[in-house]
Amino acid sequence: MYDKVTSHQVAELAGVSQSAVSRVFTPGASVSKKTAAKVRAAADELGYRPNVLARAMVSGKSRIIGVIVAYLENQFYTEVLEKLSRAFKQRGYHILIFMVKNDRESVEDVMADILDYQVDGIVMASIDLTSDIVSRCRNAGVPLVLFNRSQDIEGVTSITSDNIRGGEKVASYLVEAGYRKLAYIAGWEKASTQRDREQGFRQELTRHGHQLFARETGNFSTQQAQGAARRLFDNPAPNRPDAVFVANDHMAFAVMDVIRFEYGLRVPEDVAVVGYDDVPPASWGAYSLTTVRQRANLMVEETAKALFAMIDHPEEFTAKHIKIDGDLIVRRSSRALR
C-alpha cells in the first residue's frame, strides 16, 4: 500500500519542475517532446496518475455529471443509464448516480447532495421538478437537463420522445385496425410523458370521431396497474374494452398478466394491449407487446449534446425542448383484427 504518488515525486525523478509534470498531463499545455518523454517515463515507473479531486478543486471542473433517476425498475431507465454512462465517459466525464423516490422532498435532499460534489452538470431522468430546484441549480451555476420529462419552468432544457405524436400513432393504429372500445391506463398524472401520451391518444381518437371508452390510473407502478386492469375488466363482457393503451410497457406487462391469467382472456383475440417505450421484454415471446419505441440512443445523444453545450458556453443559454419521434412497433399483442 504505497500509492499516492504525487506530481512532485514524478518531477523529482524526471529532473523537472512539478509544473512540468502537470503540463504533461494537461491536454492543451505546451511542453517539449523531450520533457514529456522524461516525465512519462518517470510517471510510469512510479505508477503516477493525477488526482482528479485535486484537479477538480483548482480548476473548478470535476468532470463529474450527476444523474438523478427515480424508476430504475422500469427497464427503460436501465438502458438509458448504461448509454448515458458510455456517452459521458467517451467525453472524459463520469457519472455520479443518485436514486430517489420521486417526491419533492427526496429530490430536494438529493439536489443538495449532488451540488456538494461540484458536479459539472446534472441530468434528471423522470423527475418532476419544482422551480425551487431549478433555481438552486442556476444559483450554483450548474447546467441541468431533463430527461424524459418536460416542464414548463422558465428555461429548462428537456429531452423527450414525441409523446403526443406517439399517443396519436397508437390511436390511429387501433382505430384503423377496427378496435372500438378503447381504454387508457394512465401513468403518474403529473408526469409530462403521461399527459402528452394521453393527450395525443385522445385527440387522435376525436379526429377519427371516436372517444375514450374507459380510463384508469396505474401511476407507473406494477401494482397499481394491476388494480387499474381489474377495474377495467371486472365488468360483464359488453362493458369491457377491446383494446387497452397503457402509458408505458412496464405497466403493460402487468396489465397483460391480469387480463390473461386472472380473467382468462386472450390477447389479442379478446383484447389488444399497447404499451410505450419498447423495453427489452416487450419483444420477448411471452408478451410480444405492440408499443411505441423510445429511441434511447438518440435521446441520450441529445442529452449529452445539450448538456455539454451548456457546460462549454454557459452564456449562450437557450432552453430547448427536444422531441424525438419514435415508431410504433406492431407485435402480437394487437394483431387480432383487420
User: If binding means CB under 8 A, how many residues of this protein chain bind its own copies?
Assistant: 56
Q: How far is the CB of 92 from its own copies (least distance, A)?
A: 10
Q: Which residues of 3-21 are buried (b: 16+ CB within 10 A; e: fewer)?
A: eebebebbbebbebeeebb
Q: How far is the CB of 199 from DNA (least distance, A)?
A: 46
Q: Choose the binding region for its own copies from 69-77, 126-134, 154-162, 302-310 (rule: CB under 8 A).
A: 69-77
CA 49 to chain centre: 33
Here the cell at position 72 is: 430504475
Q: How far is the CB of 313 from DNA (least distance, A)?
A: 17
Which of 274, 312, 267 is CA-nearest to residue 290?
A: 274
Query: Quick check: 255 and 246 in contact, CB under 8 A?
Result: yes
- The single residue among 28, 33, 34, 139 that binds its own copies, judged by CB under 8 A, is 139
- Find cell 391518444 and name the residue: 201
Q: Choose the binding region for its own copies from 108-116, 147-155, 205-213, 305-313 (rule: CB under 8 A).
A: 108-116
261 binds, among DNA, its own copies, none (CB under 5 to 8 A by kind): its own copies
Q: How far is the CB of 119 from DNA (least distance, A)?
A: 15
Residues 11-70 binding DNA (CB under 7 A) are 16-20, 22-23, 25-26, 30-32, 34-36, 48, 50-51, 54-55, 57-59
Supply φ then ψ for residue 31, to 5 degrees: -135, 150
Q: What is the DSSP letter of 16?
A: S
Which residue lies nearer to DNA by CB, 8 or 91? 8
Residues 185-244 binding its own copies (CB under 8 A) are 222
Query: Quick check: 145 and 306 in contact, CB under 8 A?
Result: yes
Residues 285-304 binding its own copies (CB under 8 A) are 285-287
User: Between 240 and 279, how does the x/- string for binding to its own copies read (CB under 8 A)?
Assistant: -------------xx-xxx-xxx-----------------
The rounded distance, in Å, linking the Cα atoms of 266 and 259 is 8
Which residue lies nearer to DNA by CB, 7 or 291? 7
> 214: how many CB neighbours lie within 10 A of its CB?
18
Find residue 186's DSSP bridge partners. Answer: 217
The rounded distance, in Å, linking the Cα atoms of 268 and 194 is 24
The rounded distance, in Å, linking the Cα atoms of 69 and 288 is 27
> 251: how many CB neighbours lie within 10 A of its CB?
28
> For the purposes of burial, counting CB atoms within 10 Å of the CB of 33, is it exposed (0-12), middle (13-18) or buried (19 or more)?
exposed
- The single residue among 36, 115, 265, 311 that binds its own copies, judged by CB under 8 A, is 115
Taking CB under 8 A as the rule, does residue 3 contact its own copies? yes
Taking CB under 8 A as the rule, does residue 113 contact its own copies? yes
Which residue lies nearer to its own copies by CB, 12 or 113? 113
Which residue lies nearer to DNA by CB, 53 or 237? 53
Q: Which helix or strand (DSSP H or E) is residue 138 part of?
A: helix 131-140
Q: What angle do CA 80, 82, 83 make, to 5 degrees?
A: 65
Which residue lies nearer to its own copies by CB, 139 or 211? 139
Which residue lies nearer to DNA by CB, 30 or 211? 30
Mapped onto helix, strand or coil, the DSSP state of residue 152 is coil
Query: H helices within 222-295, ranges in order?
Result: 222-233, 249-257
- Residues forming the site for DNA (CB under 7 A): 4, 6-8, 16-20, 22-23, 25-26, 30-32, 34-36, 48, 50-51, 54-55, 57-59
- Residues forming the site for its own copies (CB under 8 A): 1-4, 47, 49-54, 56-57, 62, 64, 72-73, 75, 78-79, 81-82, 85-86, 94-99, 112-113, 115-118, 138-141, 222, 253-254, 256-258, 260-262, 280-281, 284-287, 314
